[in-house]
C-alpha cells in the first residue's frame, strides 16, 4: 500500500506566507504601472482636437470661436432675436444699402435726424460707404457712430478697401497706401497678411467692421481689365495661399472680410458693371482652378462670400446671383460653405439692364444668397419680397434661414 507524504504544519505555514508575499508584490507592481500610465496620458499625450479656424486679436471687436461658439450660444441668441422681429424688420435685415438709398438724399456725408428717421423706417442689416461719403477722419467717425446708434439691430458698416486700385479710405482719409498685391506677390503670404492687417486696423479706427475684400479672383485672362492687378495672382495655387493669409490679416486687424467675386471674375472678357459677364469653364475646370482661392479663404475663416453677376453657360444661363445651380451646387455643395453670402452691387448693369425686380428677388432666394448689396430701389425690393411672401413664391422659412446666418454672424463676431 502506497504511503502519502504530508508536509509538516510548520512548512505549510511558511509556504503560505511566501505565496502571499509574492501576490502582494505583483499587485503593488501592477498598481505602479497603472499610475504611470495615467500620469503619462495626462501630461504627455495631447488630445486630437482641431484648433478653431482663427482667433481674433481684439475680443471686444470680434470674439473668437473658443470664447463665443456659433453653437449653441450665438445661434440660440439669433433664434431668440428673430422670434421677436416683425416681418418687415426681417426683410430689411437682408440689405446692405448706401446711405443715399436709405435716406433718399442725393449725397450723404453726415448722419442726423434724417438718417435716424430713415433707419427707423428701413431697419437694414448694414450700410456701405463710398468715396463721396468720406470727407475727413472726424466726420466719418461721427457719421458712422451716429448711424450705428440709431439702429435697433447693430449694423454691418462696410467699405471696399482692397488696397491698391480700390481703396476708398486711402483715397480720401489718408490711411496707409498700398500698391495692388499683384505687383509684389512674390513677397509672399506674410506680406499679404501684414498688409491686410494694416488695412483692417486703419478702417476699424473709423468705425467700419466689414471690408469687402480680399479679391479671390485669379487674373488668368490678360484681356480682363475689370479685375486685372486687383487680383492677388495669376496662378491659382499662389492666389489661394495669399488670399488665405489676407483673411487672417483682416481678422487680426479687427474687421470681417468677404471673398469676391464667386465663382471667379478673373478669366472673363466682359465687365459685369456694364453688362453680363461670362465664365467659359465647366464645373470641373472651376473646381480645379477658380474655386481654389475661395476654398482657401473659407478654410481660413472668411466671414462672407460675395457672389458676382457672372454667368457660367455650362451650368446655367442666369448669373450666379440669380441661379438655382451655381451657388447651391458649387459653393454650398462642393465647398460645403454654409456661411453668409452677399450679392455684388445690385446697381450694376449686368442686373439692372436685364432683369426686373420680381425676377431679381425670386432669383436671389432661389440662389440661396443672404444679403443684397446696394439695391438701387430699396422700396421696390422690400415690396417685391413682401408680395412673394404673401403669394407663397418664397417662404417664411427661407427668410428665417437667411436671418439665422446673418444674425449668428453678428453675434459670433461681437457686432451684436
Are the C-beta atoms of residues 262 and 308 closer than 8 Å to each other? yes
* DSSP 8-state secondary structure symbol assigned to residue 128: E
Are the C-beta atoms of residues 257 and 251 closer than 8 Å to each other? yes
- Give the pLDDT confidence score for residue 57 in this predicted structure: 35
Model pTM greater than 0.85? no
Collect all residues with Cβ–Cβ distance below 8 Å to 386 and sequence separation of at least 6.
87, 88, 91
Give the CA radius of gyration of the chain. 29
Residue from 340, 341, 308 nearest 227 by CA: 308
Which one is catalytic: 202, 267, 344, 368?
A: 344
Written as nine digits, the cell of 341 is 453670402
Backbone angles phi, psi at 258, to 5 degrees: -135, 125
- Give the pLDDT confidence score for residue 276 in this predicted structure: 78
Rounded distance between C-alpha atoms, residue 368 and residue 331, angstroms: 10
254: left (phi over 0), alpha (psi -120 to 50) or beta: left
> E-strand spans in 94-239?
95-97, 126-128, 156-159, 210-211
* DSSP 8-state secondary structure symbol assigned to residue 187: G
* DSSP 8-state secondary structure symbol assigned to residue 171: H
Q: What is the pLDDT along the chain (416 residues), one digit of tens a residue?
A: 333 333 344 444 444 444 444 445 545 554 554 444 443 433 333 333 232 333 343 333 343 333 444 446 999 999 999 999 999 999 999 999 999 999 999 999 999 999 999 999 999 999 999 999 999 999 999 999 999 999 999 999 999 999 999 999 999 999 999 999 999 999 999 999 999 999 999 999 999 999 999 999 999 999 999 999 999 999 999 999 999 999 999 999 999 999 999 999 999 987 778 777 899 999 999 999 999 999 999 999 999 999 999 999 999 999 999 999 999 999 999 999 999 999 999 999 889 888 988 999 999 999 999 999 999 999 999 999 999 999 999 999 999 999 999 999 999 999 99
**136 catalytic per annotation:** no
Preceding omega of 190 cis (within 30 degrees of 0): no
Written as nine digits, the cell of 317 is 444661363
Coil/strand/helix, residue 133: helix
Rounded distance between C-alpha atoms, residue 322 and residue 57, angstroms: 37
Q: What is the dihedral sign for C-alpha 331, 57, 166, 136? A: positive
Amino acid at each position: 500500500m502506497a504511503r502519502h507524504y504530508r508536509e509538516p504544519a510548520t512548512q505549510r505555514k511558511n509556504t503560505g506566507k511566501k505565496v502571499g508575499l509574492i501576490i502582494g508584490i505583483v499587485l503593488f507592481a501592477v498598481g505602479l504601472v497603472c499610475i504611470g500610465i495615467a500620469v503619462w496620458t495626462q501630461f504627455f499625450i495631447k488630445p486630437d482636437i482641431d484648433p478653431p479656424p482663427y482667433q481674433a486679436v481684439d475680443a471686444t471687436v470680434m470674439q473668437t470661436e473658443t470664447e463665443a461658439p456659433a453653437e449653441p450660444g450665438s445661434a440660440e441668441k439669433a433664434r431668440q432675436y428673430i422670434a421677436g422681429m416683425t416681418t418687415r424688420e426681417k426683410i430689411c435685415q437682408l440689405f446692405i444699402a448706401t446711405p443715399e438709398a436709405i435716406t433718399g438724399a442725393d449725397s450723404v456725408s453726415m448722419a442726423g435726424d434724417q438718417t435716424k428717421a430713415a433707419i427707423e423706417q428701413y431697419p437694414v442689416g448694414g450700410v456701405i460707404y463710398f468715396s463721396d461719403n468720406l470727407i475727413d477722419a472726424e466726420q466719418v467717425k461721427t457719421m458712422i457712430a451716429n448711424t450705428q446708434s440709431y439702429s435697433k439691430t447693430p449694423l454691418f458698416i462696410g467699405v471696399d478697401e482692397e488696397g491698391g486700385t480700390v481703396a476708398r479710405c486711402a483715397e480720401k482719409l489718408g490711411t496707409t497706401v498700398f500698391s495692388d498685391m499683384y505687383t509684389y506677390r512674390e513677397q509672399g503670404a506674410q506680406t499679404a497678411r501684414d498688409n491686410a492687417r494694416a488695412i483692417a486696423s486703419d478702417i476699424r479706427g473709423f468705425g467700419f467692421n466689414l471690408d469687402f475684400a480680399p479679391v479671390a479672383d485669379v487674373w488668368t485672362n490678360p484681356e480682363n481689365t475689370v479685375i486685372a492687378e486687383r487680383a492677388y495672382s495669376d496662378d491659382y495655387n499662389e492666389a489661394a495661399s495669399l488670399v488665405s493669409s489676407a483673411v487672417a490679416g483682416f481678422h487680426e486687424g479687427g474687421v470681417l472680410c468677404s471673398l469676391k467675386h464667386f465663382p471667379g471674375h478673373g478669366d472673363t472678357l466682359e465687365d459685369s458693371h456694364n453688362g453680363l459677364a461670362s465664365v467659359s469653364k465647366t464645373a470641373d475646370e472651376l473646381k480645379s482652378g477658380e474655386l481654389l482661392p475661395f476654398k482657401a479663404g473659407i478654410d481660413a475663416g472668411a466671414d462672407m462670400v460675395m457672389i458676382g453677376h457672372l454667368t457660367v453657360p455650362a451650368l446655367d444661363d442666369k448669373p450666379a446671383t440669380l441661379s438655382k445651380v451655381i451657388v447651391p451646387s458649387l459653393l454650398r455643395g462642393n465647398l460645403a460653405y454654409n456661411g453668409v453670402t452677399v450679392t455684388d452691387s445690385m446697381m450694376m448693369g449686368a442686373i439692372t439692364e436685364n432683369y426686373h425686380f420680381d425676377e431679381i428677388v425670386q432669383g436671389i432666394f432661389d440662389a440661396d444668397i443672404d444679403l443684397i448689396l446696394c439695391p438701387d430701389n430699396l422700396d421696390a425690393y422690400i415690396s417685391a419680397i413682401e408680395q412673394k411672401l404673401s403669394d407663397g413664391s418664397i417662404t417664411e422659412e427661407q427668410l428665417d434661414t437667411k436671418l439665422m446666418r446673418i444674425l449668428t454672424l453678428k453675434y459670433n463676431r461681437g457686432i451684436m
